[in-house]
Structure 1
């Protein structure tokens, strides 16, 4: 179903950009009862919207008027104070009135010059009525036209809404909805997500260029100049915005109905995507944890249906959010954002790579030679930066066949945990580069590790004594240089004799480590344990 005939100009916009239903002042002057009326000032305001009418019967009319009213008067309430007419126009304009229509001759012979000048300055129409016209005729005819117009608007909007819904029911998506709305409005229309990215767009090139030239972050809802912007909302959640650019600002009501249908399409797509994502994640979890599910050929064939290639040599990358400070928002939301950021980064670098979000981590399986993990993490960090959180990354050895993926997954998990212990939040650690820390991380009894450190380093194990910490630093550099006294003195900026004195002090505290290789090994391991945060 399609509606391509031009829409009647039935929707009007107030100066604030909000939608109003009614007739313009110029259209009101076209009713038979006003055939003898003429505009004596404020002609630039003939586009103001009239939604209702009122009759001025009391001097304090300002307390009773409403926006978008056409005020009718004979001047009777002001017959004794004609000087107040000079301020009346400004007061009525401030309250949003559309125009004032006055019948002269019986109570007022003319209008003050300052009133006419002010009306021209404000673009507030002053209409002089014919002496033989009755207010009841004006009221009946204008209100009938307004009601007929509103009924036509509602019928037209409902008709268009049904057409858009029919597109969805027939399997159409955002692009088809946008194409239809662009044709109906004779404008360029785009749906933009909450991050400012254009999802779909349709319309003439000139209008599309004008639409894309605007900064989405600066667009306000409503009609402004040649464009109209409305939110795409469903279930209290704003998915983004729908924007349209035409010769003049497209109708807000039409765009709001289209945005409602667009929200329906988006929620449907997200529901389908959520189910598909869960299915993909469950499959990848089964592969990585080694659950029975077929041989390597089955895994390769099934993963290919998702666009993944697990038949080549691959590495497993595990990404975990770092510890959260108190009072952070919902962790699930951040986990979803991290999954989206990593998915986007992987698609740019390895289109056959697999990505899935698990309960506490995001896992990617990438071609061993297809992707630089450090660059990948940098890409994901750039997308995720505004979340105010960091994440750590663990990388496995290469898995040559799908049967090796469970071991690779365990390696990546170990790497992310040990890497965070060694380097803090935001670490990127490769399992092959963990060295002896891999072995230390296998010790689950942390109390035993603490006991080993205390027994081996003695009073140098704690951080409370500055001198002990300084001596421990000297010991560490000595061991790193294989007891090269000259090199150690150079690194620590000590005099040679000062270092010799320190070595003597260390041996009195720890034993003859310069002569005992086993003791040196124990001291090195104890220092490594201290480097592992969280032990």
Structure 2
């Protein structure tokens, strides 16, 4: 549990501390305060620190302060606080401010007369209190999400005490990082693990800041590899999540991120159902990889039926029986007939539009249609065959996407 830089600056007694750069990243979490005594900080921090620079034990000229900004950014510190005034660091050079702004590193100026013992005491006390409160909030939400709580009345009492707004309609969103294998394919295991944890923390920090700005905000819950948001229901939620997905792209590096959105629930006792729905939608999003990264449970349609089939072999057999003969493994393009069938169904049987979609001549399309009907023993005029083929193609596209990911 931690405080953000913004929450620390809002503490009573720290009003004299001023943000000089990196205001867009004040949502970063602060694990603990660290007073820098050495020439550099790269070897002495692990990420998440709010680093204080006094200039007492080491000269801090412009070159040294620039070095601290670079090393702080590379190490993932939460922010850099520079004490200014006589007799050590008189002012923060403009070049240091500009570099911190370029990196997006929160740079804070603290008057030297504001004693460090007061600052560290206030931050330390707040960290302990905030950690306890956040732990309690997350404990309540985790119990409600799992359905494992002593009594609903007690959970509601605790939520009211901790100012958790549980009442009112909610939409649950489950988010998960995908393509993690990219990190481990391109880096040594220890380095890849550190990169993964850094990205996960950056995503969590961003989500917490994003959700705090929304009405009736609830904390982000981390459950295994899931980030869980409980958002107040509103008509623009899809657009808001699309913007969130776009903003997260700059954080997740070469990995991918997908989201599953549950149906609206009106009471906290329905959170487990909402989480299950969001998980189902998330699984589909990871398989189909929509451009917005989002799949809404309300729009799953037939996929909701397929998700309910516990034995995957039943689905695989259905796909094989419906499409298997059309896969011509000895040809240069073994899936051309399946892709043609898919195009025809996507265009509601309009052969001209299907040919345009596939960028082939109409005569070529007609030849493929004859081949499809010959191999399947079915007619494209048969509505039952079209329905079965549509479902089978939906599963085939999901499977093909997974195969390409593993290739």
- TM-score > 0.5 by shorter chain: yes
- For structure 2, the 5+ residue unaligned runs are 1-7, 29-52, 92-110
Structure 1 residue 528 and structure 2 residue 405: aligned? Answer: no
CA contact (8 A) 1:394 1:428 kept: yes
Q: 2:203·2:251 contact (CA, 8 Å) conserved in 1?
A: no
- Secondary structure at the residue paired with 1:468? coil
Q: Which runs of 5+ in 1 are unaligned?
A: 1-171, 183-187, 200-218
In the aligned structure 1, how far is the partner of 2:156 from the partner of 2:249? 31
* 1:340 maps onto 2:340 in alignment: no
Whole-angstrom CA distance in 1 between matches of 2:200 and 2:27: 24
- Structure 1 residue 414, shift from structure 2 partner: 0.9
Report what 1:430 is aligned to. Answer: 296
- Counterparts of 1:426 and 1:373 in 2: how far apart (Å)? 10
Matches within 5 A, 1:220-239: 222-224=59-61, 239=78
Cα deviation digits, residues 76-126 of structure 1 (max 9, x gap): xxxxxxxxxxxxxxxxxxxxxxxxxxxxxxxxxxxxxxxxxxxxxxxxxxx
Taking structure 1 as the reference length, the TM-score comes to 0.52
Kept in 2: contact 1:485–1:496 (CA 8 A) = yes
Contact 1:353 1:366 in 2 (8 A): yes
The answer on whether the counterparts of 1:299 and 1:310 sit within 8 Å (CA) in structure 2 is no
- The match for 2:97 is none
Higher relative contact order (CA 8 A, sep 6+): 2
Q: CA deviation at 1:411?
A: 0.6
Q: Tell me how far 1:283 sits from its aligned partner.
A: 1.2
Aligned residue pairs, count:
335
Distance 1:360 1:400 in 2: 26
Match of 1:286 in 2: 143
**Partner residue, 2:226:** 361
CA 483–275 in structure 1, closer or farther in 2 if over 3 Å, else same? same
Distance 1:332 1:277 in 2: 21
Partner of 2:193: 329
2:305 counterpart of 1:460: no
Q: Which runs of 4+ in 1 moved over 6 A?
A: 188-196, 227-231
2:231 pairs with 1:392? no
1:488 aligns with 2:354: yes
Q: Please list the CA deviations of residues 377-396 of structure 1 after superposition, one character each: whole Å capped at 9, or x if unmatched.
A: 53475367245243211111
Q: Corresponding residue for 2:45?
A: none
Name the SS for the 2:265 alignment partner.
coil
Q: CA deviation at 1:267?
A: 5.1
Measured after TM superposition, the shift of residue 173 of structure 1 is: 9.3
Contact 1:191 1:240 in 2 (8 A): no
* Residue of structure 2 in register with 1:145 after alignment: none
- Per the alignment, residue 442 of structure 1 pairs with 308
CA RMSD of aligned residues (A): 4.4
- Provide the residue aligned with 1:352 in structure 2: 217
Q: Does 1:305 align with 2:161?
A: yes
What is the aligned partner in structure 1 of residue 83 from structure 2?
Answer: 244
Distance 1:502 1:379, change over 3 A: closer
Distance 1:400 1:173, change over 3 A: closer
* Structure 1 residues 445 and 248: CA distance shift in structure 2, 3 A: same
Partner of 2:369: 503
1:276 to 117, 120, 133: 133
SS of 1:349's equivalent?
A: coil
Give TM-score scaled by structure 2 length. Answer: 0.66
Name the residue aligned to 2:108: none
- State the shift of 1:505 in Å: 1.1
Output the CA distance in 2 between the equivalents of 1:306 and 1:381. Answer: 32
C-alpha distance in 1 between matches for 2:60 and 2:284 = 55
CA contact (8 A) 1:321 1:391 kept: yes
Would the aligned equivalents of 1:374 and 1:428 in 2 still touch at CA under 8 Å? Answer: no
Distance in 2 separating the partners of 1:346 and 1:385: 18
Which residue of the partner structure matches residue 105 of structure 1? none
Q: 1:529 deviation in Å? A: 0.8
Counterpart residue number, 1:212: none
SS in 1 for 2:234: coil
